[in-house]
Amino acid sequence: MTDPSDTTAERLSTRPTARLRSLAWVARRIGGGLFVLWMVATVIFFALRLIPGDPVDAILGGPGSQASAEAVAQIRTDYGLDQPLIVQYFLAMGKLAVADFGTSYALKVAVAPYVLTQLWSTLVLTIASMVVAWILAVALTLVTSGRGGPARAVGSGLELLAAAVPHFWLASLLIIVLSNTLHLLPPISVPGPLGLILPVITLALPLTGFLGQLMRESLANAYEQPFVLSARARGESEWGVRLRHVLRHAALPGISLSGWAFGSLLSGAVVVETIFARPGLGRTLLSAVSIRDIPVVTAVAILSALTFIIVTLATDAIDRIVDPRVAKQ
Amino acid sequence: MTEILAGRLRRNNHAGPATNRSQKLGRNGGALLAIVALLFILIAALAPQLLTSADPDAVAPVDAFQSPSSTHFFGTDESGRDVYTRVVFGAANSLFIGIAATIVGLGLALILGMLGGLGGRVGDFVSTRVVEVMFALPGLLLALIFIAIAGPGVVTSTVAVGLSTAPGYARIIRSQLRSVRNSGYVEAATVLGHSRLRIVVQHILPGALAPIFVLGTLGVGQAIVWASSLGFLGLGVAPPAAEWGAMLSSGRTYIDVAWWLTVFPGLAIVATAASFTVLGRALNERTRQGGLG
């Protein structure tokens, strides 16, 4: 292993090919991403048709509706549900290809703008949580890394607990302590930054545990590298070594995992949004699945997959920038 | 979280054994504590009568919402049922779902991983795409749709959790199998002219098995957390049964008046999950140093 900065000269000399290679890489990734999106849409389409019950019931507002046979038949034709399944599939894919997500069965509104509003709310939550988790994890590892036994033991113990705590339990504890006992913060998510505090803490703490565990390990490895010794020999201060040399290495596995972490935050958002009664993609998904609102579930699935693909692409790109060795492999 | 394990297992070769003595002692102490906790949970799951003489479903409306005391360690719930007893009896359900879900997840992953790691170019292409698609869907979405299809229940949430953890395992198993396949002893077996099947069964699978076992141990805790999340959303085990997630779900209604309904089942989940993680890490350390024995 060498310090990534050592390869700068080499990179300069091979710049045109490197750029071409990067472009090819991006193109390949975008193609792969589109393929994954199509597969996601296909899986979701058939999986949703496997849910027992008639979709017409969902459109009419539940199996209890007293609709006449003509009304039911009318709806079946309107929504194209009288076509053979394979025809429905190609019609649906055709519409998705031009980003037409249709009309919600339950809400009778256009799905795309509705789900996008929800996505915005969830993105604010997840991005804020991600930022908070990174700051906490970096601070925790840096402060406890070089120290002796006790500090490290406390640090890794905290990380272990944080990583083992279920979101919904952490949320309940925060409500009990901060809202019901100390009356500091509202137990449900009110609009504005104040309502964001508890949901963000809930999502960020477990992620902090994961990132912290990961960084601690790579930090320990980085400390043993020759470039740390040479930096020390040059007379750099302890914090200079930590911030300029070691952190860069320690952050790598965390960065490559951020894509995965983002996906898990979306799962966590279902629980957090439900507990704090906060609008968002997660809560929309939960209710849409339970009332079988096929267009909404499809849109949520495709949007989450798209977000995941974009975030993974971005983190892989950051990986290549932070550590040029990655691109060479 | 399985991705994190991937990183951890991959870096096996680089991370040296615990160098300093106090560190090693601390880890062993932690592992010991975890084993004691897990034994306790195992007793609760197999023979709950040893830990409590009360009936988990005994309703006593007069005793509703008692705070923790010497008669009711963890207090009582809205029907006057003893929360400690219910937590003890809930261990069986939660532990079963956690272990079974991990087995389902690892089983699915093993199929996908073997296809990818040993199935040649086409197999690898197919399995990589399948795993990519599964990754792109949030785990909970897969679980929710599966539960909507199959109806809520113990078996359903087990499979749902297994399904959502499978892609992470599959990636790790694939890279594990690949590195074993390219190792010296497999090459030696190939040179000796052993058949492909024999090499896979006799050399490659055993070589990859120990890390998979470690992976499973680390995964059980997370599977329990996952399953309890489903229970919390009302999609797991049916309400009257004692299951930690379901207990938390019904306790949520009374969060303003009875904090103990939320705190204690959650503590049980955290203790179990953390213990499995500590144990898994200790096993990982041992396999690194050569063999599980």
Out of A214, A220, A271, closest to residue B232 by CB: A271
What is the SS3 string spanning B194-218?
A: CCHHHHHHHHHHHHHHHHHHHHHHH
Scanning A107-166 for CB atoms below 8 A from B yields 149, 152-153, 160-161, 163-166
CA-based nearest residue to A230, from A6, A8, A12, A9: A6
Question: What's the confidence (pLDDT) of residue B228?
Answer: 86
* Residue whose token pair is 């019950």: A53
Residue A185: pLDDT over 60? yes
Q: What is the per-residue pLDDT across B98-111, written as a single tens digit (0 to 9) for each?
A: 999 999 999 999 89
Nearest to B217 by CA among B278, B263, B269: B278
A145 compared with A28, residue with greater pLDDT: A28
Nearest to B265 by CA among A176, A169, A163: A169
User: What is the predicted pLDDT for the residue at B107?
Assistant: 92
Q: What is the pLDDT of residue B101?
A: 93
The interface residues of chain B toward chain A in range 213-242, judged by CB-CB distance below 8 A, are: 221, 225, 228-229, 232-233
Give the whole-angstrom CA distance, residue B281 versus residue B171: 19
pLDDT digit string, tens, across residues A124-179: 998 899 999 989 988 887 777 665 667 777 777 888 888 788 888 898 888 888 88
Least Cα separation, residue B59 to chain A (angstroms): 25
Q: What is the pTM of this model?
A: 0.80
Name all contacts of B204-211 with Cβ < 8 Å and 24+ positions apart.
B204/B118, B204/B177, B204/B180, B207/B180, B207/B183, B208/B173, B208/B176, B208/B177, B208/B180, B210/B287, B210/B291, B210/B292, B211/B9, B211/B172, B211/B176, B211/B287
Helices (H), A51-84: 55-59, 69-78
Q: Which residue of B has its CA nearest to A274?
A: B233
Chain mean pLDDT for chain A: 80
Confidence band, pLDDT 50/70/90 cuts, at residue B221: confident
Q: How confident is the model at residue A277 (pLDDT cuts 50, 70, 90)?
A: confident
Q: Indicate the residue of B22, B129, B225 with minimum beta-carbon distance to A39.
A: B129
Cβ pair A304:B11 closer than 8 A: no
Contact A308, A319 (CB under 8 A): no
Closest approach of chain B CAs to the CA of A13, in angstroms?
31
* pLDDT tens digits for range B115-161: 887 777 888 888 888 888 888 887 888 888 898 888 888 888 899 99
**Which of A51, A214, A305 has the CB atom closest to B148's CB atom?**
A51
Question: For residue A38, what pLDDT band results from cuts at 50, 70 and 90?
Answer: very high
Contact A239/A150 with Cβ under 8 angstroms? no
Mutation choice for B interface testing from A168, A177, A221, A311 by most B CBs within 10 A: A168
Q: How many residues are given for chain A?
A: 329
| Dihedral angle sign, alpha carbons of residues B201, B206, B209, B211 | negative
Residue B292 has pLDDT above 60, yes or no: no
Of A32, A168, A285, the CB nearest to B141: A285
Q: What percent of chain B has pLDDT over 90?
A: 5
